[in-house]
Every structure is written in C-alpha cells, then in structure tokens.
Amino acid sequence: MYALSMEYPSKKQTKLSLVLFIASASRSGSTLLDLLLGSHPQGVSTGEIRRLQGFVLQDKGLLALDDENYPLTCSCAKPLKECAFWMEVEKRFGASFKDTGFKTSQKRSWRSLLMAFYLATGPQGVRVLARAFSPVRKEVEIGLNCLRLHEAVSLVSGACFVVDSSKSVYHYMLLHCAAPKLMKLIVLVRDGRGVAHSMVRGTRAKKWQEGPLPPFLQASRQWARTTKSILMLSRRTKPSDKVLLRYEEICSKPLEVLNHMAQKWGLLPWEDSFWKELKERHIIGGSPSVRFEKLLDRLEPDNRWKHSLDKELLEGFEKIAGKLNRKLGYLS
C-alpha cells in the first residue's frame, strides 16, 4: 500500500499518465462515452471499476443489483476469473481482487460529512485527516486500491490513459484525494427528462415504489439530487482538469466534442474510424445493451421521452428540476 504521506507514484514510475473519470447520473450515456474514449489508441476502457469485487465474486447483492438477468461478465462474455485480460491484471495488481476493497461501505450520512470536509479543505485536507482518523484513511485507501488497479490495467493493455466510468462522484472524490495530479474529471450530463424517462422504462419500473408522486417524477428528483451533488463536488477540481460533456452532443458531433477534450489534455486527435474498428474490450458494469456492442457504427441519441411524456408529467418535471435542466443548457 502506498503511504498516505505521498502522492500516487509519478509518471516516471508507471506507464499510466491519466485516469479519465466519468461522473454522471445513471442512464446518461456513461457506457457509450466509456466505449468512445476507450477506442482511442492511447486509451483503454475498464467500465465501473468500483464494482470489480462484486463481479469477481458474482455477488449481485454487493453490486446492489435487482435485475436477475443482468450479466456479471466482462464485455468479452466471460466471467472475470476466466477472462485472460483480467487474470493478467490481477497478477500485475499483486493481490486478490476478492480480498481488496474498491468501493466504500460507509453509510450515506457518513459520506455526506466527508464530502462536506472535502469541499471545505480539498484533497490535501482529506489526506491530512486520513493520517489521524482511521475511517477516513480506509476511504482514501479505497482510492489508492483503484489507482493501483488502473496502473495494472495500463501495464497489461499498453494504454497511457484509463477510463473509469464508475459514475459516483463520491468515488471520484476518493481517487482525487489519493492522486489529484493523475485525475481528469468528465462531468457527463443528459436532458433530465430523458434520464428520468429511461430510469422508469421497462423492467426498471419495478424499482420505484408507489407513492404520492408517479415513478417518472420520483426519478426526476433522484436525477436532480445526483446532478447537483456532481456539480457541487466538481468545484474542487481545477478547470484545467475537468470538462462538461452533453450526451446529446456526443451523439450528434462526437469528433468535435472528443477532440476539444483531447486538445485540452494533450491527447492525440480522435478519428471517426477509431470506434468503427474492432478493438478488444474488457469492460465491467454499465448498460449491457451498449457494453456488449462490438462496433459503434452509428451514434443515435435515445429521444423516446419526447414522444412518451404527457403534459402533466412535463409540468411536474419543470417544478422539480426545470431550473437545473436549463442551467445545463436544456432550454426547451
């Protein structure tokens, strides 16, 4: 384990130069963006790294998954214990994935306190607190575990940047506290009406309990809470180390969006052929309908919400999250 008095090892000690972390609400297109970023010849996609232990143990309870049909396999369709890529990563990692924590087990109230401290003091303040307070030290160690894992992925794949689409901004905070110079934050947003509609569509509708509000409006509230949290915690990341990307723009003009980011962070330009070429992927978590795609030969935004939501639901959304949606650039 790396000492907490030190930052994560320098570029001279590891091939890994950047971790691109995608923070977003669920159903915002994080898996699609992960695939696009990982198609770059300098990069590799990993999916939702914080879920790794649950995939290794084949434990849906640990992953908080209630979908009995959700596949707990790598995107190569093999369980992680049979996937040559992840087996080699575990070897380079130097410890058993089964016995290593990559995800917090702290309760929401405790996490809220640590996030407030991070907002007040920044990553340096959290590292100082970790030296004196064991529960905080254990949280920062989770970030260090994930960074060691990213390094192992980089060594096995030959990539100089690794994409982590874990989405949770709290998880990003742990990585940022462990190695602020290594982390780049991508705040991914999508029209909240589209997110909420997707969250309650199909089998996902079973998740929402009956109550005074329809499921769509319950989902709208959750989207607003998550998005506000992401925007708030992102304030502790320097402008040069973060970007805000919109799902709809990624689908309509991917090269423009990705190359703006590439120029900002010193990466080679993206080419349209990158994501249309077959590239071996070993991604965990995320949307199965996207994760198992072999080729991304067309990028089409999911706009079904525009034809599915009635006036009453749209008015309800406006009361709950309309102001936030407009702040993100969604004006109508």
Q: Which fold has domain 12-193+237-303?
A: Rossmann fold (3.40.50)
Selection from 14, 1, 13 nearest residue 141 by Cα: 1
Q: What is the pLDDT along the chain (332 residues), one digit of tens a residue?
A: 333 343 444 444 456 889 999 999 999 999 999 999 999 999 999 999 999 999 999 988 888 777 777 889 999 999 999 999 999 999 999 999 999 999 999 999 999 999 999 999 999 999 999 999 999 999 999 999 999 999 999 999 999 999 999 999 999 999 999 999 999 999 999 999 999 999 998 777 777 777 788 999 999 999 999 999 999 999 999 999 999 999 999 999 999 999 999 999 999 999 988 887 767 889 999 888 788 776 677 788 999 999 999 999 999 999 999 999 999 999 87
Phi–psi pair at 18, nearest 5 degrees: -145, 150
Amino acid identity of 19?
Answer: V
Phi–psi pair at 246, nearest 5 degrees: -105, 130
The terminus-to-terminus CA distance of the chain in angstroms comes to 50
Please check whether residue 242 is in contact with residue 198, taking contact to mean a CB–CB distance below 8 angstroms.
no
The tens digit of pLDDT for each residue in 166-175 reads 999 999 999 9
Please check whether residue 296 is in contact with residue 278, taking contact to mean a CB–CB distance below 8 angstroms.
no
Please check whether residue 156 is in contact with residue 116, taking contact to mean a CB–CB distance below 8 angstroms.
no
Q: Give the tokens for residue 212.
A: 């005074």
What is the C-alpha to C-alpha distance for residues 85 and 155, in angstroms, rounded to an integer? 11
**Greatest distance between any 2 Cα atoms in the chain:** 58
Let me know the angle formed at the C-alpha of 89 by 287 and 135, rounded to the nearest 5 degrees.
80
The verdict on pTM exceeding 0.95 is no
DSSP lists the bridge partners of residue 163 as 20, 45
Structural domain spans, the chain: 12-193+237-303
